[in-house]
Structure 1
């Protein structure tokens, strides 16, 4: 069995659990608790997380999970626990093949991988890709303080690994600390002239323990530094064990609460030094990139623990109107709502939609124009047609009566050709929204976590670009803003090349209103607002098209 430590481990696979026990013993990783849950007939990870929250012998909670059975309760407990100690999880069953294997293995529905990603983000859970990553992160948390910022110093005796660590820092959105000028001058006073005195600090390949030790001592005094990564590669004269001792002594004498992690690279040549570091609570990683990844999750944990809870915002709504629309649809045996019904639901929650009316023939269409004016958009109104563009069911930029007549007849002809059995309510004639960006807000009901909200670049390209973010409802204003910031095309909304910025705050409001809607009415299993037209800053957002599907 492994030695006693401060890491608790839960496994939903018994066989994996026994392998982890042996692996932990081999690698001198101490465990405080070990639980194999199997198919969770009596206890679950939720029970254990809650129990270990107040366990003073467990500082880090780790788990291998194939699924959860109560998503909302899982999120509630994780949100509470992670404010005090980290939870690191490897979640399997992320592909279709894996999901099928999970179902047959423990009888647990795997759920959407994106839903787990969203739930973990919202509750501060750290998702590890592999068991090795899980324990790399856990070891760092177990023995080192959390960094008070993301400014990192790299100390190395080899240029290549120093560059690798620098690249990894940038890729993980961590800054290389700007070393204080006084610190630089002191380094210049004793390091060889060929050294690099800035960051990464290169003490050169011939560095003995005393050169490393003095460098540690000086860097630890620099208040611009939030964390230190020490890299050592074994050269002919390298003193691995003595360098490890010099580092431990420098940390003790500095009396600073600062995370220091190492990457003593190699094997037998550095083993004594690595063993000494491990015994003194300094985690060592085989390559610099692993050290950087461990620091990244530690920084994220510090940010999460300092994050304040948002106050919930409740919007005025007409629930009775929505309830009546749903009841009518169910009575008529329809689970897919018509466009005008879907528009009515958005209006009930104060979400702006274009001026529109359904025309059953050209005569009615001409009458609607008196209300909307030109230009307009024509869209087929049918509960059987989900993707109007695919069947030639949309015409935009109609500017006069001739174009109105031609477009109306064209849409009817296209729909009869491609979907002859579709039920047609008519053609919706809408005011055309100009000077806007197109985004999308979507809802999909996950089997474990309930309604999952999606945001991204909209229009016809959403399925191609897949530039989207997800959260589990209900969401907070901070969640909504983070969703918007996560998409790669955020710069388009913020304004590029002289364009005015879009009204991002109006997107936040729509996301929150949709979150409230699907929380109030869990019968909604799918929804797409595509596109959500976003006007320039201060002019709001408008739901151009909406599709809603409900459960029986």
Structure 2
């Protein structure tokens, strides 16, 4: 509770803008505080009134004789600044500003909001909002909002960036009997954001699971740091709206084009242990599952059904996700054979047949739950003529108590005839669904969270004392002095070498003679490439010559490239021709980085070469907090990993060298925030070592 200084549990609350008139926001807030059973003092503030709902009204916050921990502000936007100053002078520590008319209306509102936040910071106050519905805590209890109802008591904390969504969920939740520990409307997030409330809920003894509806994350770096710690304590489930890929269209690099604007959220959520919901339905199905179910020990699922069709649907869903169908021990199969009809299916899924009554379900479930190879179980029941929903449910409830560490998901297909059984299961604190798919999705969420929680907590171990930061700074300085944001290939290779990333030897030549001299130094064969920051795809303009193995070939190649470029792109500024040592073929990969607005640099690695955008076999991680273990996991997610481990008799590639190169790339972009994009494509990975061939670096 200390994280937000008595925000949820204040001794006294004042409502500025309190109203006597029903239908006014200021009246609803006062009435909600009273009807919620708030145990502290409530002080309505309105200079024009003397009494509201039986409470003495004060003309101002400073006129209140006692200390006030929380003030709810419901006055027009223009007056909020004066109210905030008054609260600051009174020593108030927390504000809830429900008033609209701030940054959501444009620049004028944004300026007003900035001033409001500045006043809060000046006096050391924390603020929820502005432009929010308010907040509620069922365990205090307190309802500092203008909602029509108060949530049922429960253990789910719900944070919503949309006030309308929170109000709708609150209304729905009462109709289905779903309880909450607290509900918070985040509004404009002028000061307090989802990060603060997630951190607080992670410490709250009354909260078991944290569910969020978000439209954005304003401080990506802090989000990663705080939420990564919170998810070690409690599951965090987020529905993030706005999954546009518009960001991919504007990217100039392969990596940027592959990333898109929503992938950063996917990557960030995965790295800090957040479970991402794809719909409002899934958000609350997962929240309910985490609220009521234990986290299973593993991913092995058993299915017991009285109907073959739904059993097959459930099996397909298990196999479509990162789950596995449990394989029973020989003893379990023999016991099932001895107690079930001859026609029953004994191997997972277990089909107890359509004439199964409660006793047969109990027998099969007991044997399956006792099997050490089973981590969780789905009980499917169709409304056959002899089905006993109530009696079967009672058996399921008793068995869940006997095996508390194995989640049992009910799936009662049908309508009225199954409703009582479903209700009984829900009242017993268990989960019951109408169809198999959400039940399997819930198990998958539980398993994913369990796997994350069981991974060792690792600090970033990408520390390289041999890097040369001064050399990189000098290269960037020269490029910017030349009014360039795209480095030449030779400059990019020098940056890579300064950070210990092996790169093929490359030099810039301005005449055919210089090109021959450089080729002689590095040895034949060589590659020639036009050096121009305006030409990103050099082969398209005849700007590349490969396999040149003599001085004559180099001279001729130099002249031909220059002629091609001047003919096709006469306006392009050409700095010369780069001469590069031709390297032996290896496994072709791409290592890249694109910088996300919210979460900073995202590292990519996968299949490279000319097929990178066609096959899109690339995995991403955020550079912040990246570890070698995470890099290895990133590589294992790609099809290229099969090639790296040795495919069809080929020797395995040097994976440690690749992990090192990716780690050093991540260190580079963390050390230099001015790097906007990097493409190292291709990287040839050999049995021993690797070589970066084509490196593109864009700075801002």
| TM-score normalised by structure 1 residue count | 0.94
* Aligned position for 2:652: 501
Match of 2:277 among 118, 121, 128: 128
Distance in 2 between the 1:87 and 1:389 partners? Answer: 48
Give 1:495 deviation, angstroms.
2.1
Checking the alignment, whether the CA contact within 8 Å between 2:590 and 2:682 is kept in structure 1 is yes
Give 1:255 deviation, angstroms.
4.2
Distance in 2 between the 1:391 and 1:114 partners? Answer: 33
Counterpart check, 1:512 vs 2:660:
no
For structure 2, list consecutive stretches of 5 or more residues without a partner in the other structure: 1-149, 249-259
Counterpart check, 1:522 vs 2:670:
no
Distance in 1 between the 2:264 and 2:454 partners? Answer: 24
Distance in 2 between the 1:183 and 1:471 partners? Answer: 43
* Aligned position for 2:100: none
Counterpart check, 1:461 vs 2:589:
no
Inter-CA distance 175–405: structure 2 relative to 1 (3 Å threshold) = same
Distance in 2 between the 1:410 and 1:229 partners? Answer: 69
Match of 1:281 among 429, 435, 450: 429
Distance in 2 between the 1:151 and 1:458 partners? Answer: 35
Partner SS, residue 177 of structure 2: coil
* Aligned position for 1:222: 371
Inter-CA distance 417–275: structure 2 relative to 1 (3 Å threshold) = farther
Counterpart check, 1:6 vs 2:155:
yes
Q: Max radius of gyration: which structure?
A: 2
Task: Give per-residue Cα distances to partners, 1:404-437, cap 9 Å, x unaligned.
Answer: 3443333223322332222212211111111301
User: Which region of structure 1 is more displaced relative to structure 2, 513-522 or 19-28?
Assistant: 19-28
* Aligned position for 1:424: 574
Checking the alignment, whether the CA contact within 8 Å between 1:220 and 1:256 is kept in structure 2 is no
Partner SS, residue 439 of structure 1: strand
* Aligned position for 1:349: 499
Match of 1:49 among 169, 182, 198: 198
Within a 5 Å distance, the mapping from 1:153-302 to structure 2 comes to 153-252=302-401, 254-302=402-450
Partner SS, residue 179 of structure 1: coil
Distance in 1 between the 2:409 and 2:247 partners? Answer: 35
User: Which region of structure 1 is more displaced relative to structure 2, 69-78 or 374-383?
Assistant: 374-383
For structure 1, list consecutive stretches of 5 or more residues without a partner in the other structure: 100-110
* Aligned position for 1:331: 481
Partner SS, residue 326 of structure 1: helix
Partner SS, residue 270 of structure 1: helix
Counterpart check, 1:94 vs 2:243:
yes
User: Which region of structure 1 is more displaced relative to structure 2, 286-295 or 506-515?
Assistant: 286-295
Distance in 2 between the 1:369 and 1:49 partners? Answer: 59
Counterpart check, 1:384 vs 2:501:
no
Give 1:224 deviation, angstroms.
1.6
Inter-CA distance 496–97: structure 2 relative to 1 (3 Å threshold) = closer
User: Which region of structure 1 is more displaced relative to structure 2, 343-352 or 310-319?
Assistant: 310-319
Task: Give per-residue Cα distances to partners, 1:72-122, cap 9 Å, x unaligned.
Answer: 0001111000001000001111115899xxxxxxxxxxx921111111111
Checking the alignment, whether the CA contact within 8 Å between 2:294 and 2:404 is kept in structure 1 is no
| TM-score normalised by structure 2 residue count | 0.74
**Paired residue total:** 537
Give 1:402 deviation, angstroms.
4.9
Partner SS, residue 487 of structure 1: coil
Q: Which runs of 4+ in 1 moved over 6 A?
A: none
Task: Give per-residue Cα distances to partners, 1:138-161, cap 9 Å, x unaligned.
Answer: 111111111111111111111111
Task: Give per-residue Cα distances to partners, 1:4-56, cap 9 Å, x unaligned.
Answer: 11111111111111111122222222111111111112321011011111101
* Aligned position for 1:104: none
Partner SS, residue 416 of structure 2: coil
Counterpart check, 1:38 vs 2:187:
yes
User: Which region of structure 1 is more displaced relative to structure 2, 65-74 or 307-316?
Assistant: 307-316
Partner SS, residue 284 of structure 1: strand
* Aligned position for 1:102: none
Give 1:327 deviation, angstroms.
1.7
Distance in 2 between the 1:443 and 1:20 partners? Answer: 39
Within a 5 Å distance, the mapping from 1:338-417 to structure 2 comes to 338-417=488-567
Q: Which gives a bigger RCO, structure 1 or 2 (Cα 8 Å, sep 6+)?
A: 1
Inter-CA distance 80–394: structure 2 relative to 1 (3 Å threshold) = same
User: Which region of structure 1 is more displaced relative to structure 2, 355-364 or 508-517?
Assistant: 355-364
Distance in 2 between the 1:416 and 1:460 partners? Answer: 25
* Aligned position for 1:108: none
Match of 2:630 among 479, 483, 508: 479
Checking the alignment, whether the CA contact within 8 Å between 1:503 and 1:540 is kept in structure 2 is yes
